[in-house]
Amino acid sequence: MNTLIPSKGEIVRQWHVLDAQDMVLGRLASKAALMLMGKHKPTYTPFLDTGDHVIVINASKVRLTGRKDDQKIYRHHTGYPGGLVEIGARKVRATRPIRMVEDAISGMLPKNKLGKQMYRKLQVYAGDKHPHQAQKPVAMEL
């Protein structure tokens, strides 16, 4: 008996909508990463991108547990000497709420070319509207 390995033409990709309103950030991110990797499908293969497209709406209304609003820090480096930038979660939510969700999801994807390919299938929107109605996305319940 041989193991079935799907070819590029056999991979069927669907579109899913995840509503982030009042959802815990980590639980939302793990569900989205699972869908992007394709682990929910019987045709999952670790070395192929068999995942689906994921649309996350209401990213500005995602919930953090405990005191993470005050204590969690988002860091990035500008590339210049002494260029480490640290911003608190409360300010990130006020200025760029999409970054919060994108960072959480990308941190749960593989750290290689395949992970970057999976990340490209993610769309995050701060509000409840998205321009992907033509793809007929299916609403996902968490």
Q: Domains of the chain (ranges plus CATH)? A: 14-140 (3.90.1180.10)
pLDDT of residue 3: 83
pLDDT at residue 1, rounded to an integer: 76
Place of tokens 């490209």: 120
Please state, rounded to an integer, the average pLDDT across all residues of the chain.
Answer: 95
| Residue closest to 64 by CA, chosen among 89, 92, 31 | 89
Predicted confidence (pLDDT) per residue in 79-91, tens digit: 999 999 999 999 9
* Cβ–Cβ under 8 Å, residues 104 and 29: yes
Q: At what angle do helices 97-106 and 25-37 cross, to 10 degrees?
A: 50
Q: How far apart, in whole angstroms, are the C-alpha atoms of residue 122 and residue 124?
A: 7
Residue ranges for the chain with pLDDT beneath 70: none
Phi, psi of 19 (to 5 degrees): -95, 115
